[in-house]
A = this chain, B = another copy of it.
C-alpha cells in the first residue's frame, strides 16, 4: 500500500471517531437542556431540544454509513475493526439517548402546565445531573481510550438505580396524597425512567469502550444491578 492510501485510511478511522465524539457532545447538550426545561419550567428550551433531535438521527446514519463503507472498502482487521464497530454501536446508544432527551422535553411541556412539584423536581434534577456526569465521563473515556475511566462508570451503575427507585416511591406517594397531581406525576415518572435509561446507555458505552480497547466482551451477569424492575 502506498503512503497516500495508508494516510487516507487512518483519516477515515479518525473522522469516524471524531464524528462520534461530536455526536456525544450534542447528546450531552440535548440531555442538559431537556433537564433544564423540566427544572426551570422553560418552554423555549423544550422546543429547542425537540427541534435539534433530527441532527442526532442524521449523525447516527452518517456514522453508520461511514463505518459500513470503511469495513467494505478497507477491510479493517483486529483493533481497527473493533474501533469501527465501536463507533457504530456508540452512535446507536447516543441516538437513543437523544430520543430519550426529546421525550423528556416533550413531557416537560405537560409538566409545566401543572402546579410546580418542587421537592420532586429537586430529586429529578439530582438524578439528571448524576446521569449526565456518567455520560460525560464515559465519553471522555472513549475520546482518550481510557479503560480505567470507562470501568469506573461501569462499576457505579448502581447509583442511578438507587435514585430511580427512590424517585419512583416518592412519585407514587405524591400521587396518592393528591390525585389531582396524577397526570403530571405520571409524566414525571417517565422522565425519571428516561433518565435511568440514559444511565444504562452510559453503562453500555462503558462496555463498548472496554471491548474496543481490550477486544473482550464484558459479560452482563457481572454487571451490578439493584433495581429488579429495570428495562
Residues of A bordering B, CB below 8 Å: 54, 57, 61, 68, 71-72, 75, 77-78, 81, 85, 92, 99-100, 102-104, 106-107, 110, 168, 171-172, 175-176, 179, 182-183, 186-187, 189-190, 193-194, 217, 220-221, 228-231
Contact = CB atoms under 8 A, between A and B. Distances in A.
A186 B189 contact: yes
B194 A172 contact: no
10 contacts: A71-B71, A72-B75, A99-B231, A103-B229, A103-B231, A106-B229, A168-B186, A176-B182, A182-B182, A186-B186
Contacts of A187: 229
A57 B220 contact: yes
Question: Chain A's interface: helix, strand, loop or mixed, by majority?
Answer: helix
Given A72-B81, A187-B229, 20 more contacts: A54-B221, A57-B220, A61-B217, A71-B71, A71-B81, A99-B231, A103-B231, A106-B229, A168-B186, A172-B182, A172-B183, A172-B186, A175-B175, A176-B179, A176-B182, A182-B182, A186-B186, A190-B229, A193-B193, A194-B231
A102 B175 contact: no
Contacts of A61: 217
